[in-house]
Structure 1
Amino acid sequence: MTLKELQGEMIAAMKAKQKDRKDAVSGLIAAVKKAAIDEGCREDIPEELVDRIILKELKTAKEQVDTCPRDREELLARYREKADIIAQFAPKQLSEDEIRAVLEEKFAEVIASGNKGLIMKSVMAELRGKADGKLISKVVAELCG
């Protein structure tokens, strides 16, 4: 997803008077712009950066849902809705089976070494943004152990 697509989604949400959707998308745009400034690519923001920030914001939104007290149902519903909206923009993540297939295909020689740190370093360079780091770590541990 590109920044322009996100901005188009925000405009569509404003026209449809969907306040929650507009607020969530606006937060994504702000986070992307801040990250772009931090990384020094203010003018031409790469799609990979946008996807990475969307995933980071999705993780934050899910943590809000998890840490919200269960008796605060209205707040919990708002957090869930925000997480659902952000999830619509997140890039498709690889499943556990797909991760295992990629590892066995591309990283067989590294896995043979049994060095989990070395394996994670090379795998994360390849799969960053395409799969959840915790899931990758779990699959690597299964293959090494």
Structure 2
Amino acid sequence: MRDKISSALKDAIKARDARRTGTYRLINAAIKDRDIEARGQGKEPASEQEILQIMQKMVKQREESATVYAENGREELAAQEREEIAVIQEFLPQPLSEDEVQAAIKDAIAETGAEGLRDMGKVVGVLKGKFPGRIDFGQASRFVKAALNG
């Protein structure tokens, strides 16, 4: 993942694409911040999973910012945030559709033998293990709860 980002940064610099260059540099900075924090605690550099989480957090922050900008009539800033989201999402795995999420939840319930809301954590844990970064777990939790209340 780090190599892909570095390579994309080099390509963006060569192409003189200011938006992509800036966004890739922001991604690298966030990853380096995480690495420095981990080093201070005697831990390993950020793993692929942690890099995905960092980028998902960056997307979420930009979505919130774009919404605020749009609500306040700053459409040019909202558009800038949306462009950055598109660049970051190039590195993220494609999210599952709602139907795919529902099917994954049914499979996870069957796999864990979940019978009630007490087993919700088990089901969500299986989903997180099988589909990291591909499911919105806020939404999935509601679906799991509904399925277990059945």
Q: TM-score, normalised by structure 1?
A: 0.83
State which drifts further: 19-28 or 30-39: 30-39
1:113 pairs with one of 113, 116, 119: 116
Unmatched tracts of structure 1, length 5 or more: none
Q: CA 1:23–1:105 in 2, change beyond 3 Å: closer, same or farther?
A: same
Runs of 4+ deviating beyond 6 Å: none
TM superposition shift of 1:93: 1.5
Deviation track 1:96-135 (CA, whole Å, cap 9, x = no partner) reads 2222222211333453132265346524542442211122
SS at 1:93 equivalent: coil
What percentage of residue pairs aligned between the two structures are identical?
25
Structure with the bigger RCO (C-alpha within 8 Å, sep 6+) is: 1
SS at 2:140 equivalent: helix
Map 1:89-104 onto structure 2 (within 5 A).
Answer: 89-104=91-106
Q: Name the CA distance, whole Å, in 2 between partners of 1:132 and 1:20.
A: 27
Q: Name the CA distance, whole Å, in 2 between partners of 1:19 and 1:27.
A: 12
Q: Name the CA distance, whole Å, in 2 between partners of 1:37 and 1:120.
A: 34
Unmatched tracts of structure 2, length 5 or more: none
Q: TM-score, normalised by structure 2?
A: 0.81
Structure 2 residue 14 is the aligned partner of structure 1 residue 15: yes
SS at 1:107 equivalent: helix
TM superposition shift of 1:47: 1.9
Deviation track 1:63-96 (CA, whole Å, cap 9, x = no partner) reads 1111214411221221121112112222111222
Q: Is the 8 A contact 1:21 1:85 kept in 2?
A: yes
**Which residue of structure 2 lines up, in the alignment, with residue 142 of structure 1?**
146
SS at 1:111 equivalent: coil
TM superposition shift of 1:28: 0.8
Q: Is the 8 A contact 1:110 1:119 kept in 2?
A: no
Map 1:4-83 onto structure 2 (within 5 A).
Answer: 4-39=3-38, 40-42=43-45, 45-68=46-69, 69-83=71-85
- Give the RMSD, CA atoms, in angstroms: 2.1
TM superposition shift of 1:141: 2.4
